[in-house]
């Protein structure tokens, strides 16, 4: 009986804490995709495009000519 009362008191105090301490949620979610990146929050969303790839060039790596694209 004593352990039941102890558990009930702990649950009641936990529930009271959750009821009294309510905080405002300020969440923002960001993601990075293949073509664009974006963030969404409480006040709206923003989408940003990635820049165009500058191109490819040939470089020498260990005596071998290799094409590098950036």
Q: Considering its fold, how many domains does the chain have in total?
A: 1
> Is residue 10 in a domain?
no
Query: pTM value?
Result: 0.31
pLDDT tens sequence across 9-27 = 888 888 877 666 555 666 7
Reference 36, options 50, 25, 46; nearest CA is: 50
Quote the pLDDT of residue 47.
79
> Is residue 66 in a domain?
yes
> Is residue 30 in a domain?
yes
> Is residue 4 in a domain?
no
pLDDT tens sequence across 58-70 = 999 999 999 888 7
Q: Which residues contact 38 (CB under 8 A, 6 or more apart)?
A: 30, 31, 45, 46, 47, 48
d(Cα 5, Cα 32) in Å, to the nearest integer?
51
> Is residue 55 in a domain?
yes
> Is residue 18 in a domain?
no
Extended strands (E) in the chain: 29-32, 36-41, 44-49, 56-61, 64-69
**Containing structural domain, residue 63:** 23-70
């Amino acid at each position: 009986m004593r352990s039941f009362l102890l558990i009930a008191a702990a649950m009641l105090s936990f529930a009271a804490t959750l009821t009294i301490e309510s905080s405002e949620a300020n969440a923002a979610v960001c993601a990075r995709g293949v073509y664009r990146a974006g963030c969404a929050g409480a006040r709206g969303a923003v989408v940003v495009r990635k820049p165009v790839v500058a191109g490819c060039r040939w470089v020498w790596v260990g005596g071998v000519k290799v094409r590098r694209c950036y």
